[in-house]
Structure 1
Amino acid sequence: MMCLSNVWELKKLGLGHDVDLYVYEVPVEYQTVQSLVPSLWNQYHPQLVVHVGLSGMATTVTLEKCGHNYGYKGLDNCSFCPDSQCCIEGGPDCIDSVIDMDSVCKRVSASGLGVAVSVSKDAGRYLCDYTYYTSLYLSQGRSAFVHVPPLGKPYSGEDLGRALQAIVQAMLDLLAQSEDKIHCQHGH
């Protein structure tokens, strides 16, 4: 499940026969995020949700390590902002993804795709961060967020689609490895 129209390139490329990929565009609206993200989790019970957002400041494909609960002061596309300025009242200040973003970054950077990938600890305290935190909270950390630069600055939609494909495949591999370790530990 992802947001961003150029993610449809990833949909065309796919993630292999054993992965079901669902793509959704999430409006830049706090109240829609509050209802849509939980409904998608409840409908699909996914192994992993990867959100993708556009960052006008990004020059690399950026993997976000964590989501933040507080500090949402910017108005959304409906001129709305939560009175509490937070995602989940009483939730932790920050939630980390269970995905090791540094490992994903190293794997994808070493793959020779020709797309620069970096890691960040701050998704910006706007709808991207808000969506990410909400998803992390609902999933006990089984979510990820990727910021991409605008098309043509410097990457094409095809470049970004290939990069997202490599990133999501690396995330799924790492998730499978961690689950194998858990099953192995419980078996002894």
Structure 2
Amino acid sequence: MDNSKRNELKKLGLGKDVDLHVYEVPVEYQAVQSLVPSLWKQYHPQLVVHVGVSGMATTVTLEKCGRNHGYKGLDNSRFCPHSHCCIEGGPDCIDSVIDMESVCKRVTASGLGVAVSVSKDAGSHGRSAFVHVPPIAKPYSGEDLGRALQAIVQEMLDMLDQAKEKIHCQHWLWIEVR
């Protein structure tokens, strides 16, 4: 995600009850495997949202599950795990506890003018979520994407607050993948 999207979300914020932390995480297997766990340990977040820019995306896409296998492409440091897995020995697929269909419907109904869709292809697990966004001006402005991300995250937090098993935590952590 480029600086304009990151700055737009920081400017909009997520309300006084939410601590927003924005980190740029390189698209590198080894960097993700070391940085993400250290951020979880540091902040103990209620929710983590990973945002990635997809040149193929035409909507803001909420990912329902994360796949662990089938990674054959080189990352930005020209590395690919020999096992072709993100986490060796991990499950094939991990579904998010967040009802992405409901988040999509609520954000769409809010009338932001940004198309939001749900994918089952890649993405999230546990108290994490992955959102793909299109590049700036293809078709949305940085402001449009910032407002859409703000609405999506607020819906996700509301959903977690209404869950039977509440996760008590004072922090919000936003992980940015580019």
Task: Point out the structure with the larger strand share.
Answer: 2
How far residue 52 of structure 1 moved from its aligned partner, in angstroms, is: 0.4
1:158 pairs with 2:143: yes
Question: How many Å separate the matches in 2 of 1:182 and 1:93?
Answer: 25
Question: How many Å separate the matches in 1 of 2:154 and 2:144?
Answer: 15
Question: What letter is aligned with 1:182?
Answer: E
TM-score for both structures, normalised by structure 2? 0.89
Question: How many Å separate the matches in 2 of 1:33 and 1:4?
Answer: 18
Question: How many Å separate the matches in 1 of 2:77 and 2:89?
Answer: 25
Q: Which has the higher contact order (CA 8 A, sep 6+)?
A: 2
Residue 171 of structure 1 corresponds to which residue in structure 2? 156
Identity among equivalent pairs (%): 82
- Contiguous gaps of at least 5 residues in structure 1: 124-128, 184-188
Question: How many Å separate the matches in 2 of 1:4 and 1:63?
Answer: 19
How far residue 120 of structure 1 moved from its aligned partner, in angstroms, is: 0.2
Residue 131 of structure 2 corresponds to which residue in structure 1? 146
The RMSD of aligned alpha carbons is: 1.2
Instruction: Detail structure 1 runs of 4+ shifted over 4 Å in the superposition.
Output: none
- Contiguous gaps of at least 5 residues in structure 2: 167-178
The 8 Å contact of residues 9 and 161 in structure 1, kept in 2 or not, is answered as yes
SS at match of 2:25: coil
Residue 77 of structure 1 corresponds to which residue in structure 2? 76
Task: Point out the structure with the larger helix share.
Answer: 1
> Number of aligned pairs?
165
Deviation digits for residues 112-155 of structure 1, max 9, x if unmatched? 000000000113xxxxx5xx4xxx3xxxx000011000100100
